[in-house]
Amino acid sequence: MTSIKIPPEHPRAESLRTREKLIECYHKGVVATAGLIAHGRGEAFDYLIGEETTKPALNAIRAAASALLLAERPVISVNGNTAALVAEETVRLARIIKAKVEVNLFYRSRERELAIKELLEKAGAHDVLGVGEDASAKIPELGSERRRVSPQGILVADVVMVPLEDGDRTEALVKMGKRVIAIDLNPLSRTARKATFTIVDNVVRATPKLVDTARKLKQDLTKCHQILLDFDNKKNLAESVALIKDRFLRLSERGGCFFSEDEERGF
Ligand code: PTJ
């Protein structure tokens, strides 16, 4: 396995470090081959939103944290990319909101289940669900390997967080009456459109922000009820799309010139 030394002054050092993390975890059997492709698609959308957590994303993070804190049986579903990029933050979040952590894979194999479980345990997780025989229940109407879930976890959850998902399961979980939180850089994806709370942001930025927000809101659960009453996912998602449109409108008005801050980062 070749790994490169990333010069800290490189304008895209952070993005390159994220890629290296995924490649390393790909070689360890955590990330699926398609996970590398999925990341490329995510990066493209990250360019469109300006590689920062937008206002609509922050609103969705507040709503998602509220839903998780008020949930009776919250579960965080973890796939290969999520484990590679934010294992520690995921475990931290699970502790704060008292959620179960469950491995759920599109490209399921026993080796990958175990590699992800091990990574989560190294990050401090106990009782990782969805591994081996534990994934014995099925989500109705779902053909892919994602249908296999734990009877103590996703099957009975009232709120499920699904970072970096593919659309079918989100839709199936919503049909089962669950509230679904998605983190997806693509605001046009089926996952983004079908979820109850859609955070259009990079998991790398959104997950630590979710941890901080949940920690703060935990002190004031009444506020969580109000946040949920005020939140409209469709409207918030439309704002994410409008933000991209406005950004490109401003760009085109400047004759295709980049914004100065974008130039700095090397767009
Ligand atoms: O680990 P497995 O077997 O469960 O497989 C995971 C992948 C990601 C391969 C699987 O779920 C898949 O094929 O996903 P898709 O259909 O490619 O969708 C991935 C979505 O995540 C796309 O809409 C991407 O834009 C988005 N995405 C990619 N990287 C990030 C991201 N969203 C947030 N943060 C990212 N870092």
The total of other beta-carbon atoms located within 10 Å of residue 48's CB is 18
pTM of the model: 0.94
48 CA distance to ligand 1 middle (Å)? 17
**pLDDT score for 262:** 56
Quick one: average pLDDT of 89-103? 98
Provide the CB-side half-sphere exposure for 36 (13 A, CA).
Answer: 14
Q: Which amino acid is at 62?
A: R
pLDDT at 257: 59
- Residue-level pLDDT at 194: 95
**Residue to mutate, 164, 189, 190, 244, ligand 1, most ligand atoms under 8 Å from C-beta:** 164
**Residue 12: count of CB within 10 angstroms of its CB:** 14
Structure tokens at 246: 């406005």
Q: What percent of the chain has pLDDT over 90?
A: 81
Q: Which atom of ligand 1 is nearest to the CA of 116?
A: 1
Q: What is the per-residue pLDDT across 109-147, written as a single tens digit (0 to 9) for each?
A: 999 999 999 999 999 999 999 999 999 999 988 888 889
Q: Is 219 exposed, middle or buried (0-12, 13-18, 19+ CB in 10 A)?
A: exposed
- pLDDT at 4 exceeding the cut of 80: no
For 43-89, write each residue's pLDDT tens digit: 999 999 999 999 999 999 999 999 999 999 999 999 999 999 999 99
Q: How many CB atoms lie within 10 A of CB 253?
A: 9
Ligand 1: centre distance to CA 130 (Å)? 19
CA neighbor of 106 nearest in space, from 161, 144, 150: 144
Strands (E), the chain: 74-78, 100-103, 137-138, 148-149, 159-163, 179-183, 197-199
Q: Which amino acid is at 60?
A: A
Instruction: Point out which residues pair with 182 in neighbouring strands.
Output: 162, 198
Confidence of residue 258 (pLDDT cuts 50, 70, 90): low
176/151 Cα distance (integer angstroms): 14
Using pLDDT thresholds of 50, 70 and 90, give the confidence band for residue 3.
Answer: low
Query: Which residues does a 6 A CB cutoff place in the pocket of ligand 1?
Result: 32, 34-35, 38-39, 41-42, 45, 79-81, 105-107, 164-166, 183-186, 189, 202-204
Going by alpha carbons, the residue nearest to atom 34 of ligand 1 is: 202
Pocket mutation for ligand 1, best pick of 25, 117, 166 (most atoms within 8 Å of C-beta)? 166
Q: Are 121 and 141 in contact (CB under 8 A)?
A: no
Query: 259: pLDDT confidence band, cut at 50, 70 and 90?
Result: low
